[in-house]
Structure 1
Amino acid sequence: MAIKIVAKNKKAFHDYHIDATYEAGMVLSGPEVKSLRAGKANLRDGYVKIDSRGEVMLYNVHISMYSFATQNPNEPLRVRKLLLHHREIKKLIGKLNEKGLALIPLKIYFIENGKAKIELGLARGKREYDKRATLKEQQSKREIQREMRHDKV
């Protein structure tokens, strides 16, 4: 299955431990879909909440206005509804009631049939020393890869 990734939230992996991921559909207008196809989205400050009616809503995700839209241009930061199965929503409500867990968007992508999907992560915040440990680990992996590359040449 070929997917086309539109936007990634790289900062999320730095700031959070991702416990589980969920795939959700998005309710979008026509110009928003065209803007996503052009790669004009930013997930950095986005978050997800479940309202009192049990609907999953996406907040603070910036999808730029499509420049060629003439009829009804989209508002870039509007609240968007996400589509999940009822049992997944119930499971998420139970998990989000735990202290320190949040639901954040990780990436937006298109699947083969042209539908836009969003990957959500059930995240637990990292402490400062966790972030430092992660950075040290990444740097050591990079150095090992670099040394292995130089040894081959």
Structure 2
Amino acid sequence: MAKEKGRKLIAQNKKARHDYHVLDTYECGLVLTGTEVKSLRQGRASLVDGFGQVDGGEVWLHNVHIPEYAQGTWTNHSARRKRKLLMHRAEIDKLIGRIQESGLTLVPLSLYFVDGRAKVELALARGKRDYDKRQTLREKQDRREAERVISATRRRQRA
């Protein structure tokens, strides 16, 4: 059987970029059981309520939902168990220092396979206030309107 090559996206947390200011991102490996990997290969996972936590010098991923494998037996995993993340010691030490700042949290952005290995993109983020969210939406709408005007002007010039 040939090894997988490249990046295959499994799940994405689109709401995270809306709710948080992303300051830094990290690519982490995951410690998984066999049935979890099989479930992920079917493209089934949810990062919506997930968050990361540093505990005892290790980084853990909480509340990420990987449903039970359909063909699994009594060896099946629990869907929302906490999972250990694999990071370099220097990265973990840097994270510990930055998380102690007020208002910073670890949020999973995406879950994917890289060359057959499950990885999670973890973001060091600060929560947005309501007015920050409105400002972001306003900027996005302004950008879209400007693009529409530019494309309409180009169409008129061609005709």
Q: Distance in 2 between matches of 1:8 and 1:97?
A: 26
RMSD value, Cα: 1.5
- Unaligned runs of 5+ residues in structure 1 are none
Structure 2: tracts of 5 or more residues without a match = none
Which stretches of structure 1, 4 residues or more, deviate above 6 A after TM superposition?
Answer: none
TM-score, normalised to structure 2, is 0.89
Question: How many Å apart are 1:71 and its aligned residue?
Answer: 4.4
Deviations along 1:84-142, whole A, 9 cap, x unmatched?
01111111000010011101111101112x00000100001111111000011111222
Name the TM-score, length of structure 1 as normaliser.
0.92
Distance (Å, rounded) in 1 between the aligned partners of 2:30 and 2:16: 20
Equivalent residue pairs, number: 151
Partner of residue 18, structure 2: 14
Structure ID, larger Rg: 2
Matched, 1:99 2:102: yes
After superposition, the C-alpha distances for 1:10-68 in whole angstroms (9 at most, x for unaligned) are 1110110000001100001111111112121111111111112x111110000111111
Which aligned pairs between 1:26-105 and structure 2 lie closer than 5 A?
26-52=30-56, 54-105=57-108
Hey, what's the Cα distance between the residues in 1 that align with 2:44 and 2:67? 6
- Give % identity: 54
- The one-letter code matched in structure 1 to 2:23 is D
The aligned amino acid for 1:139 is Q
